Structure 1
Amino acid sequence: MKLFLILGAINAFLAVALGAFGAHGLEGKITEKYLKVWQTGVQYQMFHAIGLFVIAFLVDKFPQSNQFSAAGWSMFIGVILFSGSLYVLSTTGIKVLGAITPLGGVAFLIGWVLLIVGTVKAL
């Protein structure tokens, strides 16, 4: 439980900080298109930070369920791959990084499916 709470809090903090940086520090330095890409990374990072908080409580309540822990790791990996690739793409313009973003999206989807499966099994 503690690990996913910490990961959730770190990711929520980073999403707020990176959102502010994008709005104030990157404005006028990168194109409007890349600002939107940056904001997409921030948005998905925050959504999944909240998901990590939910998972932390489920891991605590249902410690016998491996699906919840796996869901947490999948979401965390998704943040790194999805949001991370969008941040780098936005600031560098290296388009090949766009190939990594869908892998993060798949990790997000796997995390949510594992959360569903774990919930069905636990309840």
Structure 2
Amino acid sequence: MNQRTTLLSAAVLGGLAVGLGAFGAHALKPILLQNGRVEVYELATRYQFYHTLALLAVGILQHWYSNKQLQYASFCMLTGTVLFSGSLYLLSFISFSLLGPITPIGGVFLIMGWVFLLVGIYKK
């Protein structure tokens, strides 16, 4: 992803993280408690925040380090966040066994994003 798309994605993910975090802490709390999934929801929100900040950093770095590895890093971090946190949000409310394998796939994308970030900075 280019710098503009990376920064826009970080802004959207950040806003969603705040909204989903607040919604989960207030309006959804009774449902999450009933399902025993408060920790799962909080983990999804926490990882979304972490990788929103990482995506923002990648977007800023793309200004100085313009290379394919940083573009791959931003793509992997965005994809990983959507798959990892998104599947955990869904698992907080429904028990759908096919969602289980999506979470680790999202985790692999997140790890790949960090590796691409490392390589992109190292190559410069």
TM-score by length of 1: 0.93
CA deviations on 1:38-75 (whole Å, 9 max, x unpaired) are 11111101111111111111112122x11001000000
Runs of 4+ in 1 over 4 A off after TM superposition: none
Q: 1-side partners of 2:47 and 2:32: how far apart?
A: 20
Matched, 1:55 2:63: no
Q: Which amino acid aligns with 2:62?
A: V
Shift of 1:30: 2.5
Q: CA RMSD in A?
A: 1.2
Asked whether the 8 Å contact 1:26–1:35 carries over to 2, the reply is: no
Cα deviation, 1:51-109, whole Å, max 9, x if unaligned, reads: 1111111112122x110010000000001110000011101122431211000000000
Structure 2 partner of 1:116: 118
SS at match of 2:30: coil
Structure 1 residues 88-103: aligned runs within 5 Å:
88-103=90-105
Aligned letter for 1:6?
A: L
How many residue pairs match? The answer is 121
Aligned residue in 1 for 2:5: 3
> What runs of 5+ residues in structure 2 fail to find an aligned partner?
none
5+ residue gaps in structure 1? none
Partner AA of 1:103 in structure 2: I
Q: Partner amino acid for 2:104? A: P
Aligned to 2:78: 76
Q: 1:37 aligns with which of 17, 37, 40?
A: 40
Higher mean displacement: 95-104 or 67-76: 95-104
In structure 2, what is the equivalent of residue 13 of structure 1? 15
Calculate percent identity across the aligned residue pairs: 39
* Aligned AA (1:90): S
Question: Aligned AA for 1:59?
Answer: Q
Structure 1 counterpart SS, 2:32: coil
